[in-house]
Structure 1
Amino acid sequence: MNFFEAQDQARRLTGRLVGLLLLAVAGLIVVASLVVALALVLLDGQAGGDPLARALDPRLLGGVAVAVILVVALGSLGRHLQLRAGGSAVAEALGGRPLNLETRDDNERRLLNVVEEMAIASGLPVPAVYLLEDPAINAFAAGHAPDDAAIGVTRGAIETLGRDELQGVIAHEFSHVMHGDMRLNLRLVALLHGILAIGLIGHMLLRGAALGGRGRSRRGGGHAAVLGLGAALMVVGYAGTLGGRLIKAAVSRQREFLADASAVQYTRNPDGIGGALKKLAAHSAGSRLGAANAEEFSHLYFGRGVRAMSRLTSTHPPLEQRIRRVLPHWDGSLPSPAPRPADPAGAEPPSTSAPPTGATLAAAVVASVGRLDALDIVRARQRLAEIEPRLIEAAHDPFAARALVYGILMGVDPQSREKQRLALDSQALPEVLVELDRLAEPLARLAPGHRLPLIELALPVLRQLSTTQFAGFHACLERLMAIETRPGALQWALHRLVVQGIEGEWRTRRDRRLVDLGGPLSRLLSALATAGQGDEAEAREACGQAAEALGVAPDFVAEPALAADLDWAMGRLVRLATAERAVLLAAMTRCVEHDGRVEPEEAELLRAVAWTLGCPLPDPGRAGLASRPGERHDGQHR
């Protein structure tokens, strides 16, 4: 199943989830009607009354239905608003703390390195990383979209698991990010909170009645009525709790098997995820989390996290089944508690055959979306090792990260850079300007292909800027783009990526077709063709290659693209249906490789645009997109 199929499946699961929720609400209405009818019979003293007949009274049934739906809707809406910040809201609700990006703790540093490598290899934004001070072995990924995702890992996991095992766990969590499970899981949290709200109301009524009745006569009918109503709501609430757990189990278990299998695919190392599962099975603290509301988020965890009433309500398959699926020849033995083994050195990437070209290359690029492998991770590790350490450190500092982005986005034309620097002198913070001067030398030596990874590394700290700080930062970015005398498509794409990476994904309905978006297609593909070709005739031919993949004939726009024009085009193209985005990505690939070579800047541009379309494109080397400057795909030099 490829990335685009997985996204469609996640949307279908959302539809099934809504169907299950409607069934659960209908069941609650029936149970609530019966309980209320029985309470009325007992309170009226009609021992011979028929609770079922009363429950079917249209007026009672209608009143109960309205009340149940109202409580469920308000409870779900309230929880959704509480979680609108995305993964960080979940991590903080579980007691997690953001990991210091400049930490000197070896275990914490190792966790950050693994997450950053996985993100850069997969083409996803680097998520925020949270540490839960819990001895259990567990982890989770949460968020509405990759732009607001957070990865949470327990202290027990980073202290117990080796690097390969930790990488397997993180790969498992990245699978949830890529396959759309995060958004589904947060919707499930909000919807089930509405169902559970009925029981919470009953609990509060019973508690209030018990406290209010102390020291007073309890012969009053009002007090008895409150107790009866509270008890009735508690009964309905327990039914809702059971229904909610069954829904979570139905949605979650198969997704865990898929994430385990994806972790093996990503790392090509079944012993990594398999070893982590075995250590989890042998760990004295298991996976059980101590957070007060751990149950609410139980379907997000790597391990079960909470005690299940039965296998029917367990959100995770048994550990033995999970281990045997990734390690079919496992003999059933578990590791004994022992010091964590030393982390192995990164393996050298295996040799690859000659890269594909034309339609074959486009198909390979589309197939690679959301499907990283071990070679991608090795390449990401090597790419990070090639970048000067000062720049890596700058990406983790709030002031230096802003300077780093300014330096990357400032134009190559000397006159533009001089004007841009003068603009920053009047707008940027003095501390940022000091960092910009300090980074001038390594930025001048920055190799093509290293800009995007640095921006990815800087995004987590930039997301922590206050509203006022981000407003100033955003104003400086807009000023840099406005002053640039020769803005290019890559500069625009990186600028858009920074803003979207901080503000989050612009969520719109994805129901448009390529045939409806001829103007935006013409503008974007013309900009891509012009960025990589020497003259207008070659650029027109590149657009023609894109048209073959599209099945739509876009017009070639010879005029240089302004940032506003490209923003307009992308604002419409993000509404493309999932399958149509795959076709567009193939067309974009045909466009940039028209002349038989893909420069590092073109590969970087393609990845940046694919990111803004919601298509995480792994390191381009595996699909054959990465060629050395001046080298053709056929091995000939320019």
Structure 2
Amino acid sequence: MASGVQIPCVFILDEEEGLNAFAAGFSPNEAVIGVTSGCVKTLTRDELAGVIAHEFSHILNGDMRLNIRLTGVLHGILVIALLGYTLIRSGIYSRSSGSRDGGGKIAIIFLGLFLMLIGYIGVFFAKLIKSAVSRQREYLADAAAVQFTRNPLGIANALKKIGGFIGGSRIQNARAEEMSHFFFANGMRSSFTYLMSTHPPLVERIQRIDPSFDGDFTKAPKSGKPDTGGRAGISGFAGEASIRANSEDIVSQVGTLSTENLEYASKLMDSLPQELKDATRTGVGSRAAIYAFLLSEDEKIREIQIQYLAHYGDPEVYGKTIQIEKAAENLSVEFRLPLSDVAISALRHISEKQYHVFIKDVQYLVRADGKIDLFEYALHKMIFRHLKPVFERTKPAPVKYNNIHSVLSHCEVLLSCLAHRGTDKEEEKNSAFRLAAGKIEGGDALKLLETKNCGLSALDRSLGELASSAPKVKKKIFESCVTCVVADGWITLKESEVLRIIADSLDCPLPPVMPGKFAPAATA
């Protein structure tokens, strides 16, 4: 919740007794974390939290994509050497019928030797680069783990246990070397040289976190207790029309996780009803929470929705929905989307049959009153975006647009939608639109569209196309969107929800917008 990233699935490597872990995936919202059974059996809760926080840092910082690219580059260079080896074998074992053929065989063998030499030299230097990059990313992830958990002894003691454990962090799988740079600690035998190691020395990593460590791994580490300190009550949009914000601060939070974000998320979770928090941790409860959030305030429509769930929904989920209905109804609007985000993580573990029933139920509840409001649109889009790839095996959309000029028409729709939702005053709409368009190359040619052309369906179509843009293009688009939203120096609850939709669609993890100085409530 604090980072704006979906909670990753965690898998246990049952056959690995070494103390290790890794993160993998093409994007933060599709990531998984693997933990060895040795970690689960040996580490304390605080130590395991430190390891998971380390891996989550790799997810948040995009290290997974970098690791996959490094693996691809290494294999590509290795293919050159393998091609050379194949040519040598074909030259040696092929039959020749004369001196000309014999000369051809020699040429093929020498070509093979040349390719093998080039390939293996390339692999050697590529491994040096991979190891150097990996070591630096490990230091950064260790520091981030301390920041996330606020408990330096957690990750420090986990590293100490690895040093004193008989099996260390060794991974037994035969393909471990290819993915050695993915792991929390060195998964291979000690390298003959530091230059070829994908991880810094354990002692050095520990001393950066715990300077008092003397390098003696025989001393059993003591479990540390996180110092969470006192927690004040949550503040936010509740009872207020808007909060103070500026575009630079919001954009700088994309893909980051600060102590302030963690504190805010902790306070937010503490302020929620316990029965709703408990519900979002299970498949049944998560579906019930989503249903409860979609129940209409209109009593007649709500009754129709409840009757539908009673007749066509899962009986257990229906019962849970009725049980938490009142708590969901009393929950402040600004908490519903973040809590729904948490619920979606649990929904990844329901069955395929349950998923299809759930989607059908959600669509009915959304359309029951004949219209779709912003929250319903945001929730519906969030559900489809994160669950459809899991249950319908859809592939990630390929990059279609590598420059901003290819998507200017969609940017025009997106910025127009934001400008119209930000204010009712035409002068302020035009000012916000022009300011945002100025952030885009070629934006001077864009024009503010009429309100009738800026509905949720138009927004949805444009977001669908913009999601196929290259990362550098997405960054420019999101910066212009933020500029449009906070052009007046304030951000409303509805504007923050729209920003979360856009950020999620563009794979730009955005933490919840934290309140600063409050603006006075708007008057009619």
Bin of the TM-score, shorter chain as denominator length: 0.7 to 0.9
Residue of structure 2 in register with 1:384 after alignment: 269
Shift of 1:139: 1.8
Residue of structure 2 in register with 1:124 after alignment: 5
Residue of structure 2 in register with 1:28 after alignment: none
Partners of 1:335 and 1:598 in 2: how far apart?
Answer: 55
Q: How many residues align?
A: 474
Alignment of 1:263 with 2:145, yes or no, is yes
Partners of 1:145 and 1:550 in 2: how far apart?
Answer: 25
Residue of structure 1 in register with 2:337 after alignment: 452
Q: Show the 5 A alignment for 1:117-516.
A: 120-133=1-14, 135-158=17-40, 161=43, 165-186=47-68, 249=131, 252-264=134-146, 266=148, 272-291=154-173, 293-311=175-193, 312-326=195-209, 331-332=214-215, 334=217, 336-337=219-220, 340-346=223-229, 348=231, 361-410=246-295, 417-418=302-303, 420-421=305-306, 424=309, 427-504=312-389, 506-509=396-399, 511-516=401-406
**SS of match in other structure, 1:508:** coil
Partners of 1:550 and 1:268 in 2: how far apart?
Answer: 39
In the superposition, the TM-score normalised over structure 2's length comes to 0.76
- 8 Å contact from structure 1 (residues 140, 302) kept in 2: yes
Gaps of 5+ in 2: 86-111, 236-241, 390-394
Partners of 1:420 and 1:565 in 2: how far apart?
Answer: 27
Shift of 1:614: 0.7
Higher relative contact order (CA 8 A, sep 6+): 2
- 8 Å contact from structure 2 (residues 47, 223) kept in 1: no
Quick one: structure 1 residues 168 and 619, their matched pair in 2 at CA, closer, same or farther if it must change by over 3 Å? farther
**SS of match in other structure, 1:298:** helix
The aligned amino acid for 1:253 is R
Quick one: structure 1 residues 192 and 277, their matched pair in 2 at CA, closer, same or farther if it must change by over 3 Å? same
Partners of 1:241 and 1:587 in 2: how far apart?
Answer: 42
Residue of structure 2 in register with 1:524 after alignment: 414
Shift of 1:603: 2.4
Residue of structure 2 in register with 1:568 after alignment: 461
Partners of 1:350 and 1:437 in 2: how far apart?
Answer: 29
Shift of 1:465: 3.2
Q: Show the 5 A alignment for 1:81-92.
A: none
Equivalent pairs: percent with the same residue? 34
Partners of 1:166 and 1:323 in 2: how far apart?
Answer: 16
**SS of match in other structure, 2:199:** coil
CA deviation digits over 1:515-558, x for unaligned, max 9?
43333223333333444545666555543443344462442331
- 8 Å contact from structure 1 (residues 267, 374) kept in 2: no
CA deviation digits over 1:12-33, x for unaligned, max 9?
xxxxxxxxxxxxxxxxxxxxxx
Gaps of 5+ in 1: 1-119, 203-231
CA deviation digits over 1:494-517, x for unaligned, max 9?
221111111348432164444433
Shift of 1:616: 0.7
In the superposition, the TM-score normalised over structure 1's length comes to 0.63
Quick one: structure 1 residues 480 and 372, their matched pair in 2 at CA, closer, same or farther if it must change by over 3 Å? same
Residue of structure 1 in register with 2:94 after alignment: none
**SS of match in other structure, 2:35:** strand
Residue of structure 1 in register with 2:474 after alignment: 581
CA deviation digits over 1:281-301, x for unaligned, max 9?
234442223556544433211
- 8 Å contact from structure 1 (residues 489, 561) kept in 2: no
CA deviation digits over 1:13-54, x for unaligned, max 9?
xxxxxxxxxxxxxxxxxxxxxxxxxxxxxxxxxxxxxxxxxx
- 8 Å contact from structure 1 (residues 527, 561) kept in 2: yes
Quick one: structure 1 residues 535 and 308, their matched pair in 2 at CA, closer, same or farther if it must change by over 3 Å? same
CA deviation digits over 1:365-421, x for unaligned, max 9?
111111212222222222122221222222222222222223334555556545544
Quick one: structure 1 residues 464 and 254, their matched pair in 2 at CA, closer, same or farther if it must change by over 3 Å? same
- 8 Å contact from structure 1 (residues 413, 486) kept in 2: no
The aligned amino acid for 1:183 is R
**SS of match in other structure, 1:153:** strand
Shift of 1:562: 4.6
Partners of 1:524 and 1:413 in 2: how far apart?
Answer: 31
- 8 Å contact from structure 2 (residues 482, 499) kept in 1: yes
Partners of 1:356 and 1:481 in 2: how far apart?
Answer: 29
- 8 Å contact from structure 1 (residues 287, 303) kept in 2: yes
Quick one: structure 1 residues 406 and 350, their matched pair in 2 at CA, closer, same or farther if it must change by over 3 Å? closer
The aligned amino acid for 2:11 is Y
- 8 Å contact from structure 1 (residues 487, 562) kept in 2: no
- 8 Å contact from structure 2 (residues 234, 268) kept in 1: no
